[in-house]
């Protein structure tokens, strides 16, 4: 990676920068990688919590693969001071000519989610706008969100621009982005480099996308079944 390929955001403290390095170092050690993702989730949640008014009621929206790791950290941090609900989506993400799509095949919405006034979209890495766009569209008409936060450890340099173009101004103007690193390179397969070290499913010890393996996050088991 060239030195110009990654820039750090103002939120990237020394501890955050070490955690980003740990993601790359632990790419072949799923247990340590998972622990690091939870830690980074706490850092993201702490930063977000500091920006929220006391009246904020948060709905944290997660992909199924992120739910027990990055999203868990975010939820743990936000729930200390704010009413926090969870939404988990099983996206079937696949390429099509000229781009990709990620329809929601299954979802879990925690009862009471409609009362939330802050939408928090969590994603382990944002390389484009596909999954984030889909997950916002699943919820935007079901609650009155004053602000929509998109939070991620790493984003591609073009992602914010692409995402804003996908929505009318009255929605796009609600967007606020919190990330720690911005990468400008992708490999031939579209993976952000260095990003988070590769494909998130394998990095977290999964064989494939959760929608294809009947994977259910512990977060959903706890909230849905106690």
pLDDT per position as a tens digit, 55-94: 999 999 999 999 999 999 999 999 999 999 999 999 998 8
pLDDT digits (tens, 9 = 90+) for 94-153: 888 877 899 999 999 999 999 999 999 999 999 988 999 999 999 999 999 999 999 999
Would you state the pLDDT for residue 226? 79
The pTM is what? 0.95
Report the percentage of the chain scoring pLDDT > 90: 89
149-177: average pLDDT? 97
User: Would you say residue 4 has pLDDT above 80?
Assistant: no
CA distances from 226 to 87, 90, 106, 178, 207 (A): 16, 20, 20, 31, 27
Angle at the Cα of 49 from the Cα atoms of 148 and 218, rounded to 5 degrees: 80
Domains of the chain and CATH, by start: 6-225 (3.40.50.2020)
Q: Is the pLDDT of residue 197 over 90?
A: yes
Rounded distance between C-alpha atoms, residue 208 and residue 215, angstroms? 9
In this prediction, residues 165-184 reach a mean pLDDT of: 97
């Amino acid at each position: 990676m060239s030195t110009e390929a990654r820039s750090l955001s103002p939120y990237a403290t020394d501890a955050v920068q070490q955690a980003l390095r740990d993601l790359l170092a632990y790419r072949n050690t799923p247990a340590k990688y998972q622990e690091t993702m939870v830690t980074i989730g706490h850092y993201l949640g702490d930063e977000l919590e500091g920006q929220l008014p006391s009246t904020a009621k948060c709905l944290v929206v997660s992909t199924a693969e992120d739910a027990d790791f990055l999203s868990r950290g975010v939820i743990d941090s936000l729930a200390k001071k704010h009413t926090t609900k969870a939404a988990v989506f099983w996206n079937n993400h696949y390429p099509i000519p000229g781009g990709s799509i990620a329809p929601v095949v299954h979802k879990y919405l925690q009862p009471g989610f409609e009362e939330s006034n802050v939408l928090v979209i969590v994603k382990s890495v944002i390389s484009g706008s596909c999954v984030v766009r889909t997950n916002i569209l699943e919820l935007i008409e079901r609650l009155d969100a004053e602000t929509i936060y998109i939070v991620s450890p790493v984003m591609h340099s073009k992602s914010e621009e692409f995402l804003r173009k996908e929505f009318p101004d009255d929605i796009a103007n609600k967007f606020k982005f919190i990330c720690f690193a911005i990468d400008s390179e992708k490999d031939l397969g579209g993976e952000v480099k260095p990003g988070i070290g590769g494909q998130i499913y394998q990095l977290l010890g999964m064989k494939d996308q959760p929608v294809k393996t009947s994977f259910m996050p512990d977060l959903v088991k706890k909230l849905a079944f106690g």
